[in-house]
């Protein structure tokens, strides 16, 4: 491809999106530049504080438990109070709790505050996703979600390297740095982002309210949530199982930071062109292939013995992330009704939060009891199950693969779901 073609493709990838999207994108980037706790909590507890892998897994699991609770609460807040107030409350709370966590000494206090951090940091996600669906035209949503994911990983790639170096000198500096950047994110939201919650028009006949019960009874959407949980359970091992395994193998926090930075770097380089390549391809194949790549990419870690080998495994499962993220988000957008986006996005976000709860417990138990090799073997099994699940789901979905492939240019409105007048 010529330089002119590359420039044209880059312009087409970023052009035509509303100004508010780019401020939302910038807030995401700033937030992820400070992603220290989620990445280095396990190393902080095992290497700096001397706790076992099981205790580290318990603390990170409490961080995930906080996210499980806040996903549903924040989803309701997003629909009822608005996207902007929810993001502001989440970012300010995250900054305060992260700074507090850096000063905790007692194991019980560390565990409790980690739960608060998980609750606060996860609360903004349903609001961000809902606002993005609100402000971006339907035909541009897949591209917008891909660009937002690109920002997440650009920030993650930079922060992994910087925080890895910082962690070798002062973990407290990492906690305070994340708090400062999260406050900056809150300032961007306050100064630049208007509220985007759709205003309900008064229908001739009252529409039933969309509640959490509505989401739970939406079988197709909950199947997506379940499969998302399996996939996220695999990917979360990159921040819980991988650092413990590398630490036990004699590698330093800086080594882990460099290896895992390959994940963010590859997404920064490949996310946009790969999204353009897969945008109109069969989503069933994409979801199945990405699940298998994720599972077996992590399974390859069992055979890694050098930094280059670890980096190679990261490259494999990163490709799975690049393919899975925009494809799955297209499916989520299709199944989410306009006036229930907060609750639907909250339930979807909860799949990742539950994985953040289960994955550390799983990693700590398996590594302490059986060794890291068994953990990586389990990821291969999970990837196979998820791949089969995607294949079955897409076969039974009304409209089939073509409808999902077209969801980026559709209405983004789900088919009518059972009503429930619940919170």
412 has a pLDDT exceeding 50: no
- Averaged pLDDT for residues 32-36: 76
Fold of 15-194+211-409: Growth Hormone; Chain: A; (1.20.1250)
Lowest mean pLDDT among 76-80, 208-212, 271-275, 293-297: 208-212
- Averaged pLDDT for residues 120-135: 87
- Averaged pLDDT for residues 19-41: 83
7 has a pLDDT exceeding 60: yes
Q: Are 149 and 11 in contact (CB under 8 A)?
A: no
395 has a pLDDT exceeding 70: yes
Q: Are 319 and 267 in contact (CB under 8 A)?
A: no
Tell me how crowded residue 388 is: count the other CB atoms within 10 A of its CB. Answer: 14
The predicted pLDDT at position 359 comes to 85
The predicted pLDDT at position 208 comes to 60
The predicted pLDDT at position 407 comes to 47
Q: What angle do CA 298, 267, 130 make, to 5 degrees?
A: 100
Domain ranges of the chain: 15-194+211-409
Tell me the pTM: 0.72
The continuous run of DSSP H or E covering 374 comes out as helix 372-396
Q: Residue 136 and residue 21: Cα distance in Å, rounded?
A: 7
2 has a pLDDT exceeding 60: no
pLDDT digits (tens, 9 = 90+) for 43-56: 788 877 888 877 88
Lowest mean pLDDT among 5-9, 92-96, 104-108, 139-143: 5-9
Q: For the chain, what is the mean pLDDT?
A: 81
Longest dimension (CA), the chain: 68
The continuous run of DSSP H or E covering 358 comes out as helix 341-369
Q: What angle do CA 184, 169, 260 make, to 5 degrees?
A: 70
Cα–Cα distances in Å, from 363 out to 42, 165, 324? 11, 25, 23
Task: Please state the separation of Cα 227 from the chain's center in Å.
Answer: 14
- Averaged pLDDT for residues 384-399: 83
398 has a pLDDT exceeding 80: no
């Amino acid at each position: 491809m010529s330089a002119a073609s590359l420039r044209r493709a880059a312009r087409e990838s970023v052009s035509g999106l509303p100004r508010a999207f780019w401020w939302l994108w910038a807030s995401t980037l700033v937030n992820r530049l400070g992603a220290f706790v989620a990445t280095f909590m396990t190393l902080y507890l095992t290497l700096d504080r001397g706790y076992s892998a099981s205790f580290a897994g318990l603390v990170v699991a409490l961080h995930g438990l906080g996210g499980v609770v806040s996903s549903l609460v924040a989803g309701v807040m997003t629909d009822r109070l608005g996207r902007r107030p929810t993001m502001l409350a989440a970012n300010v709370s995250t900054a305060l709790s992260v700074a507090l966590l850096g000063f905790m000494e007692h194991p019980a206090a560390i565990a409790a505050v980690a739960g608060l951090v998980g609750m606060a940091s996860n609360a903004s996600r349903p609001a961000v996703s809902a606002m993005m669906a609100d402000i971006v035209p339907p035909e541009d949503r897949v591209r917008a979600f891909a660009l937002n994911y690109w920002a997440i990983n650009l920030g993650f790639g930079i922060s992994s390297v910087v925080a890895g170096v910082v962690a070798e000198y002062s973990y407290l500096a990492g906690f305070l740095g994340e708090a400062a950047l999260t406050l900056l994110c809150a300032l961007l939201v306050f100064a630049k982002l208007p509220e985007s919650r759709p205003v309900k028009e008064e229908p001739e006949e009252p529409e039933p309210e969309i509640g959490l019960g509505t989401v739970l009874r939406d079988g197709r959407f909950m199947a997506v949530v379940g499969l998302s949980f399996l996939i996220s359970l695999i990917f979360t091992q990159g921040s819980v199982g991988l650092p413990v395994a590398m630490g036990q193998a004699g590698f330093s926090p800086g080594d882990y930071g460099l290896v895992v930075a390959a994940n963010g770097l590859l997404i920064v380089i490949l996310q946009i062109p790969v999204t353009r390549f897969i945008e109109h391809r069969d989503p069933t194949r994409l979801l199945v292939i990405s699940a298998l790549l994720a599972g077996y990419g992590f399974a390859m870690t069992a055979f890694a013995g050098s930094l280059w080998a670890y980096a190679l495994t990261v490259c494999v499962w990163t490709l799975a992330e690049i393919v899975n993220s925009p494809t799955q988000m297209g499916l989520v957008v299709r199944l989410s009704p306009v006036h229930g986006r907060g609750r639907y996005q909250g339930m979807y976000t909860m799949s990742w939060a539950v994985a953040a709860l289960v994955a550390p417990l799983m990693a700590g138990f398996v590594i302490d009891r059986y060794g890291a090799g068994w953990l990586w073997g389990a990821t291969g099994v999970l990837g196979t199950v998820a791949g089969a699940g995607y294949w079955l789901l897409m076969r039974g979905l009304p409209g089939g693969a073509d409808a999902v492939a077209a969801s980026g240019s559709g209405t983004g409105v789900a088919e009518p779901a059972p009503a429930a007048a619940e919170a």
